[in-house]
Structure 1
C-alpha cells in the first residue's frame, strides 16, 4: 500500500495519540508499505481554520498519488472544508485516526457550539475511521448522528516499556511501610487533573510522595501555578517534577512507586494507565471517557467522577490503610495488562482494515 499520514508537527511528539500514530507507521513500513508523513505547523485554533483556504496545502494533497490519505483527527480544524473539495478532485480514500474529540473535552460553554460544528463537519464525509476505543467510537457516532460503519477499534497497547517485574517484587513493593508512593504520568496540562491530585493530597492525614513525569512546557502557566502551590504548602521534598524523561528513566521511577494517579477530565483511552498496570501499579482514573475500558473499579484500580478531590482522597486512604488490598489490586493490575493486545496485534488489525478499503 501507498499511504500518507497527515499530522500536526512531528511524529515524535510526546503524547498517547502520537505514540499510536508512530507505532502504526512503524508497523506499516515493516510490512513493506510506503507511508509519507505530511506535517502541518502547530498554530492556534483560528489559524488552523485558515488552512482550509491554503492553496499550498490544497495542491500538496491533490498531488498525492497514493491509495489512502490517513488524517489524525487532531487536525480536523485544518481540513473540515478542504476534505470536501479533495473528495471531488482526488481518487484516494480519506479516513481518520480518532484518539478523542475536542468536543468531548471541557471548554468554555460559549465556544463549544463552534467546536462541535467544525468537528462534526470534518467527521461526517470521511470514508472510514480508526478508533482507539469503543468510547471514542460512540462519541463520534453521537456527535455526527450516524453510524461509523466502515471503521475498526484497535486498542493502544502497553508493551512499549521493558516489563520485568514479577508477582513477588510487586507484592513486596505494595507492602513497603512508610509513605504511599504515587506516580502521575502525562503532559502536565489541566485536562490531566494534577491539580485534583494535589487538592486530594492536602486532605489526607498520612505520609505520601508524588512523582510527576511528563512535559512541563505544554501549559507552562498552569505548571507554574502548581509549583507555587507545592512550595506554599512546603511539599518540595514530597512532590518531584521530573519533566520529560527517557523510557529507561520512566521505568525506574515507576518501578519504585505503588499506585498511578491520573484523574483526567477526559481520556479517549489512556495508555499511561495500561503501561502502569504492566508494572503492577493499580490506576486511578475517572468515569469520563475511556479509562473504564482499562480500569475495573475496585479490582485493578479506582474510577472517580472528574474533579472530585474528596473521592480521590478516599481512594488514597484505602490504598494506604489496607496494604493487603493494595497487594491484591497491584497483582490484578498486572494480570489486566497481561491479557491486553500487543502493539503488533492492534496495528495488524488496522492494516487489515486499511487493506479492505482498497
Structure 2
C-alpha cells in the first residue's frame, strides 16, 4: 500500500499529534508500506488559508492508494479534497478540533465553519479517542472510522516502566516534584497550575518542559511566578531531548497538565510509565486514560482550588503517593503500544482502500 501523509512542517518527534503521525509512519513502513510525506508550510492561521491552491496542486500530483491528512492541516485543505481524484480515498487523522479551543466568538465561528467544511470533505477518519470521535460526530458524519489510541512507550529504552522498588524509594525524597510537559501556549493552562501550586502549604518544585510557541504567554508565566512569589520553585527548561526528558520524569513525583482541552494526552501516558500519577483536565479525552483518584486526578481546568486539593494530600502523605504511582505505572503497562496503534490504523486503511473509501 502506498500512503500519502499530509502534515505541517517536518515529520519529527514533537509531542502530541506530531508524535502520533511519526509513530504511525514508522509502523506503516515497518509493515512494508510506502509512505510519501507531503509537508505543508507552518504559518499563522490566516496565511494557511491561502495555501489551498498550492496544496491541491501538490496532492493531485500524488500517485498513492490513500491520502492520509493530519486534521491540524485543515485550514490549508478545506477547499482541496473536492478537487482530488474520487478513486483515491482521503482519510483524516483527528487529534482534537481547533474549533473547540477558547477563541473570541467571531474567531470561534469562523474557524468552526472552515473546520466543519474540511471534515465534511473527507471519506473516513482515524480518531485518537472516543471523545475526539464524538466532537467530530457533532458537526459531520464520523463514519467510517477507527479509534486508535496513542501510546506512551517511546521511553522504553530509558527505563520505563519503572519497578516497584524505585517508585517506593523515590516517593520519600525531598519536596513534591511536579512536572508539566507541553508547548507553552494558553491552552495548556500552566498559569492555572502555577496559581494552584502557589496555594499549597507544603514544599514543592515545578519543572515545565516545552517549547515556547507563544512568546507573550511564556513571558506572562515568568511574570506570574514572580508575582506569586514562587519563581525560585519553578524551572522552565524549553524543549528537551528524549534522554533529558526521561531523566526529569524519572526523578519527578507527579505529572500535572490541567489543559483547557486535550484530545487524549500522550505526555500524561508517557509520564505514567515512570510511575507518575497524572493530574489532567476533565475537559477532553483524558477521562479515557485516567481513573480519578486511582492512577491520577481529573480536575476542572478553571477551578484552581480543585487542582490544589488534588495535589495537597500528596505533599503530606507519601504512602498515598506510592499507591497512586504504582497504579499509574500499571495503567501504562496495560495500554496499547505504538506498534499496536499502527497495526490498528493499517488494518483500517487497507479496508478503506479495498472499498474505495
What is the TM-score when the length of structure 2 is the normalising length?
A: 0.95
Partner of 1:120: 116
Q: 1:272 Cα deviation (Å)?
A: 0.8
SS in 2 for 1:205: coil
Task: Measure, in 1, the Cα distance between the counterparts of 2:228 and 2:284.
Answer: 32
Q: 2:324 aligns with which of 329, 333, 339?
A: 329
SS in 1 for 2:17: helix
Partner of 2:350: 355
Task: Measure, in 2, the Cα distance between the counterparts of 1:307 and 1:272.
Answer: 20
Q: 1:240 aligns with which of 198, 222, 235?
A: 235
Q: Which runs of 4+ in 1 moved over 2 A?
A: 56-59, 228-237
Partner of 2:150: 156
Task: Measure, in 1, the Cα distance between the counterparts of 2:243 and 2:15.
Answer: 17
Indicate conservation of the 8 Å contact 2:7/2:73, yes or no. Answer: yes
Task: Measure, in 2, the Cα distance between the counterparts of 1:13 and 1:227.
Answer: 27
Q: 1:15 Cα deviation (Å)?
A: 2.4
Task: Measure, in 2, the Cα distance between the counterparts of 1:354 and 1:164.
Answer: 31
Indicate conservation of the 8 Å contact 2:15/2:267, yes or no. Answer: no
SS in 2 for 1:237: helix
Partner of 1:78: 76
Task: Measure, in 1, the Cα distance between the counterparts of 2:57 and 2:221.
Answer: 45
Partner of 2:18: 18
Partner of 2:93: 97
SS in 2 for 1:42: coil
What is the TM-score when the length of structure 1 is the normalising length?
A: 0.95
SS in 2 for 1:313: helix
Gaps of 5+ in 1: none
Gaps of 5+ in 2: none
SS in 2 for 1:184: strand
Q: 1:114 Cα deviation (Å)?
A: 1.2
Q: Which moved more, 1:232-241 or 1:264-273?
A: 232-241
Q: 1:232 Cα deviation (Å)?
A: 4.1
Task: Measure, in 2, the Cα distance between the counterparts of 1:280 and 1:319.
Answer: 14
Q: 1:58 Cα deviation (Å)?
A: 2.4
Aligned pair count reads 350
Task: Measure, in 2, the Cα distance between the counterparts of 1:241 and 1:206.
Answer: 21
Partner of 1:272: 267
Q: How well do the aligned residues superpose, as a CA RMSD in angstroms?
A: 1.3
1:208-254, Cα deviation, whole Å (9 max, x unpaired): 101111112x0111111111222344434311111111111111111
Q: 1:24 Cα deviation (Å)?
A: 0.7
Task: Measure, in 2, the Cα distance between the counterparts of 1:231 and 1:306.
Answer: 22
Taking the TM superposition and a 5 Å limit, the aligned residue runs for 1:1-358 are 1-12=1-12, 14-52=14-52, 54=53, 56-86=54-84, 89-144=85-140, 146=141, 148-161=142-155, 162=158, 163-176=160-173, 178-216=174-212, 218-358=213-353
SS in 2 for 1:252: helix
